[in-house]
């Protein structure tokens, strides 16, 4: 039996996705002889209820100079983070010398607004390419992994922060012990640590199993986050559901006793307990739904192929590595995947080696069916590609079940 990374309790595996590649490793065609694979499986801690991966991938294999995920590729996400920054400016960064820190600031999508407002800030971002781009936007960045030692260094040179924010990054970090100790060193007595990540409640509700891949190590609930925060002298004082990335929760954490918890915290935990969210029967049921989606998707794509229809995919997401590798999708079922990210184009998808082509390919070599890998951006993409459906094209979605629209 493996031990929980948070509390040392028993970790019980509930789904095995098998051999999977690094989800963001887009190799040049023909140059994937040394491709890295690991066993992707998820488990539940029967003590603290944290859902987590059974195996950890070394962080330098995922986050490095060529990390190809650029947050600013979505207009909806640019707006989301601009509003997030404005809210911090109005509510938390109002004192005489405000200071905001972001963990995993990527290309500066959130901090740019804070930098433009002339407020002291620092992004901590280990991936060189995205960090460099954020610098060109006037954002101050430390090109390192955030951990206790980094936080102690920042506190010594810059002082403590009013806000430590992190989006889609805390769930990527197995070593949360070091993160909480770092937050303890870096946060002002009345400061807040705010992070947002895909919500287990939504992953289970929609069977959005492709949220599970190497980089997503933890799948949080209000209950597991509260229990984790308490271990380090913090408490969960607010929760807010967010519609982005297929359904997330934003958690606000403060030092124990520093702020009055919102009733929303107890309400969310009660709701999670009522539905038995982080329990084995629920998670095993989720696993059965995953297997059904896998079978249905392979059956649909095989049928379309037999009918002579062409299928391409839309969005070379990290998430799609899980779907494609679980279903064994290769070029005989999906001819290419289009994506707007230059760093992914003219490369091949991880494990399945489907060519990644620029967004223009979708207009020049339009398929009969488009498998929407970036389903979390469905509204934005379907609006942009309205002509595809007007011209008779059909979208294939696999969340919450396989369906064609």
Among positions 69, 193, 218, 220, the unique one binding ligand TYD when judged by CB under 6 A: 69
Q: Does 170 bind ligand SAH (CB under 6 A)?
A: no
Element (H, E) at 16: strand 10-21
The SS3 call for residue 249 is strand
- Tell me how far, at minimum, the Cβ of 405 lies from ligand SAH, in Å: 27
**Cβ atoms < 10 Å from Cβ of 133:** 18
Question: 152-211: which residues touch ligand TYD (CB under 6 A)?
Answer: none
Alpha-carbon distance 239 to 220, whole Å? Answer: 12
Residue whose CB is less far from ligand TYD, 182 or 247: 247
Of 362, 375, 368, 366, residue with least CA distance to 402: 375
The DSSP symbol for 230 reads H
R_g of the chain, CA atoms, integer Å:
21
Of the candidate spans 184-192, 235-243, 254-262, 338-346, the one that interacts with ligand TYD by CB under 6 A turns out to be 338-346
Q: Does 145 bind ligand SAH (CB under 6 A)?
A: yes
- Judged by beta carbon distances under 5 to 8 A according to partner kind, the member of ligand SAH, Zn ion, ligand TYD, none in contact with residue 339 is ligand TYD
User: DSSP assignment of 92-146, as one string?
Assistant: TS-SSS-EEEEES-TTSTTHHHHHHTT-EEEEE---HHHHHHHHHTT--EE-S--
- Judged by beta carbon distances under 5 to 8 A according to partner kind, the member of ligand TYD, ligand SAH, Zn ion, none in contact with residue 184 is none
Residue whose CB is less far from Zn ion, 251 or 369: 251
Alpha-carbon distance 402 to 400, whole Å? Answer: 7
- Judged by beta carbon distances under 5 to 8 A according to partner kind, the member of ligand SAH, ligand TYD, Zn ion, none in contact with residue 319 is ligand TYD
| Residues 345 and 24: beta-carbon distance below 8 Å | no
Determine if the peptide bond prior to 386 is cis (ω within 30°). Answer: no
Residue whose CB is less far from ligand TYD, 69 or 146: 69
Backbone angles phi, psi at 262, to 5 degrees: -70, 150
- Tell me how far, at minimum, the Cβ of 138 lies from ligand SAH, in Å: 17
* Total of chain residues touching ligand TYD, rule CB under 6 A: 19
- Tell me how far, at minimum, the Cβ of 319 lies from ligand TYD, in Å: 4
| Residues 207 and 290: beta-carbon distance below 8 Å | yes
Among positions 112, 172, 250, 357, the unique one binding ligand SAH when judged by CB under 6 A: 172
Sign of CA dihedral 63, 240, 141, 111: positive
- Tell me how far, at minimum, the Cβ of 225 lies from Zn ion, in Å: 12
Alpha-carbon distance 293 to 206, whole Å? Answer: 11
- Tell me how far, at minimum, the Cβ of 88 lies from ligand SAH, in Å: 14
- Judged by beta carbon distances under 5 to 8 A according to partner kind, the member of Zn ion, ligand TYD, ligand SAH, none in contact with residue 167 is ligand SAH
Q: Does 71 bind ligand SAH (CB under 6 A)?
A: yes
Among positions 262, 273, 340, 366, the unique one binding ligand TYD when judged by CB under 6 A: 340
- Tell me how far, at minimum, the Cβ of 10 lies from Zn ion, in Å: 8
Among positions 23, 49, 127, 227, the unique one binding ligand SAH when judged by CB under 6 A: 127
**What beta strand segments (E) does 22-98 contain?**
37-45, 51-53
- Tell me how far, at minimum, the Cβ of 310 lies from ligand TYD, in Å: 19
Q: Does 54 bind Zn ion (CB under 5 A)?
A: no
Residues 6 or more apart in contact with residue 266 via CB below 8 angstroms:
none
Q: Does 315 bind ligand TYD (CB under 6 A)?
A: yes
**Where on the chain is the footprint of Zn ion (CB under 5 A)?**
4, 6-7, 9, 45, 47-48, 50
């Amino acid at each position: 039996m493996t031990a929980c990374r948070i509390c040392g309790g028993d970790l019980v595996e509930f789904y095995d996705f098998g051999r999977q590649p690094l989800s963001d490793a887009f190799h040049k065609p023909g140059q994937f002889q040394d491709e890295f694979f690991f066993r992707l499986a998820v488990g539940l801690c029967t003590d603290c209820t944290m859902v987590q991966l059974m195996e950890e991938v070394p962080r330098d294999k995922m986050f490095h100079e060529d990390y190809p995920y650029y947050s600013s590729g979505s207009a909806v996400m640019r707006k989301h983070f601009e509003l997030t920054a404005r809210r911090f400016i109005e509510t938390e960064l109002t004192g005489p010398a405000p200071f905001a820190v972001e963990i995993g600031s990527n290309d500066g999508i959130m901090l740019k607004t804070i930098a433009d407002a002339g407020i002291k800030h620092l992004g901590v971002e280990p991936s060189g390419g995205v960090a460099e781009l954020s610098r060109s936007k006037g954002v101050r960045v430390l090109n390192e992994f955030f951990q206790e030692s980094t936080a102690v260094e920042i506190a010594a040179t810059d002082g403590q922060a009013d806000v430590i924010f992190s989006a889609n990054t805390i769930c990527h970090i197995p070593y949360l012990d070091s993160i909480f100790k770092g937050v303890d060193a870096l946060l002002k007595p009345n400061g807040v640590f705010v992070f947002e990540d895909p919500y287990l409640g939504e992953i289970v509700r929609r069977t959005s199993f492709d949220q599970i891949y190497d980089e997503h190590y933890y799948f949080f609930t209000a209950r597991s986050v509260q229990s984790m925060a308490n271990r380090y002298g913090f408490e969960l004082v607010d929760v807010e559901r967010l519609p982005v990335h297929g359904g997330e929760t934003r958690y606000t954490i403060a030092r124990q006793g520093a702020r009055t918890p919102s009733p929303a915290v107890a309400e969310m935990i009660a709701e999670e307990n009522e539905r038995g969210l982080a329990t084995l029967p629920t998670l095993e049921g989720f696993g059965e739904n995953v297997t059904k989606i896998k079978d249905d998707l392979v059956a649909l794509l095989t049928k379309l192929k037999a009918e002579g229809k062409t299928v391409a995919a839309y969005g070379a997401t990290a998430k799609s590595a899980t779907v494609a590798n679980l279903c064994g999708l290769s070029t005989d079922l999906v001819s290419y995947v289009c994506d707007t990210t230059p760093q992914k184009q003219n490369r091949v998808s991880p494990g399945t080696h489907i060519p990644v082509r620029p967004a223009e390919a979708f207009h020049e070599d339009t398929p009969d069916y488009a498998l929407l890998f970036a389903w979390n951006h469905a509204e934005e993409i379907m609006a942009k590609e309205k002509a595809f459906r007007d011209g008779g094209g059909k979208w294939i979605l696999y969340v919450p079940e396989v369906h064609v629209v």
